[in-house]
Amino acid sequence: MGFPNSARPVTVQRVLPARRPRSDRGVSLFTFSVAFLLLLLLLLGVVDAGVNYGNRSEIGHAALTTAHLVATGGSTDDEADCALYGRVPDDQVDLLCFAKSATHMDASRVRVKVLSTKRAAVVCVMAQAYSPTGMFAFVARGHSFTARSVVSTRRNVAEVAETPLPGTDWDFCSRGV
């Protein structure tokens, strides 16, 4: 007993994929390159935003730790060597350099001001925004981050301030104090 139709020869047809028309060639490559560039732009934007968010957080922390140092009369325990802008008394250099080093940023892009009221010490820190990737430098240009920390103290603190960053002032520091 055999299989039905076993006497008939079997023909195998090979099915080839359909060729795209000539006008559709390269569309996939173009689509991929556009999508890749958009994703790269998005990634660079996320890096820039993340770095600037971290810097903003760091200057807030630097203002707070420096204000606590001023209020308690503590010392920085290290010799200061940083870029200071404006007239700064010799006994305040360590304090301002401590604040700048606490930001973990380039000292030339950070400015510090210390002042006191009747019952509080106020430390203000400002830093330039920047674009580490360079893609969004046009957005960061001219912008700065500011932070102010007010700590209660009975100590009299000498007022000292660096020259503010270009295009900025210290108005935010004394507002409401």
Question: Cβ neighbours of residue 94 under 8 Å, at least 6 residues apart?
Answer: 75, 76, 78, 79, 80
Q: What is the mean pLDDT of residues 55-76?
A: 86
92-147 pLDDT, tens digit per residue, is 888 888 888 888 888 888 999 998 888 888 999 999 988 888 888 887 887 888 99
80, 116, 133 from 148: Cα distances, Å: 22, 12, 28
161-170 pLDDT, tens digit per residue, is 889 988 889 9
Which DSSP letter does residue 158 get?
-
Q: Where do the structural domains in the chain lie, given as residue ranges?
A: 34-174
